[in-house]
Structure 1
């Protein structure tokens, strides 16, 4: 592996793309962290500030350090703060040894010259599902390996559907889903809630319908894309979805579903614990494509990456730490803690054996795709920003779905 004593110069485009990519709501705030000068101490930065020293996650980091014969200095950051800190540290030649970062940011950091490739750092990603690994690939190279993944599906309230006379097995495509929502409304209940907020969360939630129509992120104004946005627009117009979706985060959307009044909620794996506390029977349905089948939903989750270091003698130990964190047992333990689906079939099978309720989520993750896949890389954040703006414009009534998406495509160009 080549060393670089120079400070990495990050382009304005990389900084702008990163700011957009990390605009989704974060889970808390963490302290600052700097590279340890002690050669026997290795730094790990992660986006899990909610976990303290006594947590299973931090204990795993310490165990991996012990196995590698070093001490671990760990800092947990807010997701957006972590990405910005990683860029700044790279500029200063003070990157952490291991960086665990949200998957859409990987390509931005890679193109900015912050990360090493798996060919260089010798991280084994051969067992990772290809659709999940794609989120960490750019320019034909791989820049890390996923620690776990989550995605979206439709939670449904069994009681509401039963009272409305809806057989969940009848829902196979957009037409049958809309018909179910019509029955639910006629029965005096509420249809579906989701997040269409003007941030990355809004794009994240719209993508299954966008991709499920056959649309491509390189053609935001295609007829397929218009059909997807028109679906959401029609749901609001007919009262099948509430106007609150315009401001809903995924959390507030879930809170609406938790009232027990809604038939469906588009939400993620991370709500499983809350679903069990909701007080009513629920089920899970993959988001359908326009003509049937499972729509691809975007993957969430983080990648374990190895930043470029000025001193190459640290890489051998760093590789041991990263390998430990992504071992079969570590992935199983970590993904249980984080409510993630593992990135490998071997660990997924263990998860389902321990908790059969995860079966539908494994299927959803296998059908999911990375937001920066198709070699979009740093182009994705700008595309996403225009996409959520189009959704906001159409659902608020300021523009038609066609005009909103045409404006989005023009802005991207």
Structure 2
């Protein structure tokens, strides 16, 4: 019966698989292992670990051509640091990974350790993919060094099923010269943002650009507004939640944001900002290279997403978990290694992605001295995960649908959010 349920679950994931909240993996990095991974069964792996034999640990990841070599270099360093475990990383394309996990649960063909996009972690923990490592994390004592949001993304029903490996979030980008010419200060509140967007909207330029398509990317961009208003996904029909949706709808209705935001990806929003068609945008650090390339002479900066009740952002990034019943002891040693301050710092500074560890981000001179990256680091403390919930793909679809309905005027913000709440109420009961 469980296998039947798993097969049903993969069907519901297809629409979700192709909508990213952040930068997709680039061309595959060279892999040190091209064979099929993780076909060892649970009752076969224990003797290999208990007899003191060298344990081969298969690890699935979708790191690309930039961060892949750095990660695989970390794997090589781990192998050289001891003589009991040999890690064999294997690249699996991002768009294939969830399908391979789901099929693997049925066919018993899985790795020993696997990478997972953080909003999907709870879904697969609920399906039984990942090992519960709560007690190991507590004994390790390193769990309290992670930012709240990244750590929360690896927790399901109060238990820990993995560790965050890298993180990102959203912030407000602004054109320095445009704000100066309009006499606008960098907005810190919703009221200030609306007023700034009004003054900056002229001569074919919109005050603000966001990404609001009917997929995970739209939900990702909407959540900071929901959270800042003091709302949450369990009460989408609350006055606070409705206020957050009505705020964005008003920006479109008043002409301060383009009606086309419902079709824009975050890469599209970057192009609007880089070409001077938007004075401000909400976007993530993965678009820093794009803006530098597209607009090398533009003077721009970033600030925290303006707040209503509190500053807020949404969490992006990846986690790693140990596949349930596989080589758990060896997997935990590897997880601790790549999550250590030294390795986390090495990966973060080598890739420009953020470490989920507070101690690393606070001590890294690379991030602290950079006027752009340091703002994202500050914003990261307010970044909360999507969910976590095993039905997140369905919940996300309900939210992004409401976003589309409100921004197009098909429904009032209140009606759109009430309808979204009706859709997710049953899903939330399974938390």
TM bucket (normalised to shorter chain) is: 0.7 to 0.9
Q: Is the 8 A contact 1:68 1:321 kept in 2?
A: no
CA distance in structure 2 between the partners assigned to 1:119 and 1:215 by the alignment: 29
Q: Are 1:58 and 2:58 counterparts?
A: no
The residue number in structure 2 matching 1:189 is 205
Contact 1:161 1:184 in 2 (8 A): yes
CA shift, 1:113, in A, is 0.9
Question: What's the counterpart of residue 101 of structure 1?
Answer: 116
CA deviation vs aligned residue, 1:371-411 (integer Å, no higher than 9, x gap): 124xxx21332221101001111222222222222221222
| Unaligned ranges ≥5, structure 2 | 29-33, 41-47, 49-53, 426-431
Which residue number corresponds to residue 51 of structure 2? none
SS of residue matched to 1:73:
strand
Q: SS of the residue aligned with 2:324?
A: coil
How many Å apart are 1:59 and its aligned residue? 1.6
Look up the SS of the partner of 2:231 in the other structure: coil
Q: Do residues 239 (structure 1) and 239 (structure 2) align?
A: no
TM-score w.r.t. structure 1 length? 0.88
- For residue 165 of structure 2, the aligned residue among 144, 147, 155 is 147
CA separation of 1:91 and 1:141: change in aligned 2, threshold 3 A: same
Deviation at 1:28, TM superposition (A): 5.0
Deviation at 1:303, TM superposition (A): 0.9
Q: Tell me what 1:131 maps to.
A: 149
1:3 aligns with none
Q: TM-score, normalised by structure 2?
A: 0.84
Tell me how far 1:32 sits from its aligned partner: 8.2
1:127-276 matched pairs, under 5 angstroms: 127-168=145-186, 171-186=187-202, 189-276=205-292
Deviation at 1:298, TM superposition (A): 1.3
What is the DSSP-based 3-state SS (H/G/I as helix, E as strand, rest coil) of the residue aligned with 2:384?
coil
Q: Please tell me whether residue 334 in structure 1 is matched to residue 347 in structure 2.
A: yes
- Structure 1 contact 181–192 (Cα < 8 Å) conserved: yes
- Answer yes or no: is 1:24 the counterpart of 2:42: no
Report the Cα distance in structure 1 between the residues aligned to 2:127 and 2:225, rounded to whole angstroms. 31
Segments of structure 1 that go 5 or more residues without pairing to the other structure are 1-5
Structure 1 pair 33/248, CA: closer, same or farther in 2 (3 Å)? farther
Match of 2:31 in 1: none
Which segment drifts farther, 6-15 or 116-125? 6-15
Q: Secondary structure at the match of 1:62?
A: helix
1:81 Cα deviation (Å)? 1.6
Correspondence 1:372-391 to 2 at 5 A:
372-373=387-388, 377-391=389-403
Over the aligned positions, Cα root-mean-square deviation in angstroms equals: 2.6
User: Separation in 2 of the partners of 1:228 and 1:94?
Assistant: 44
Aligned to 2:411: 399
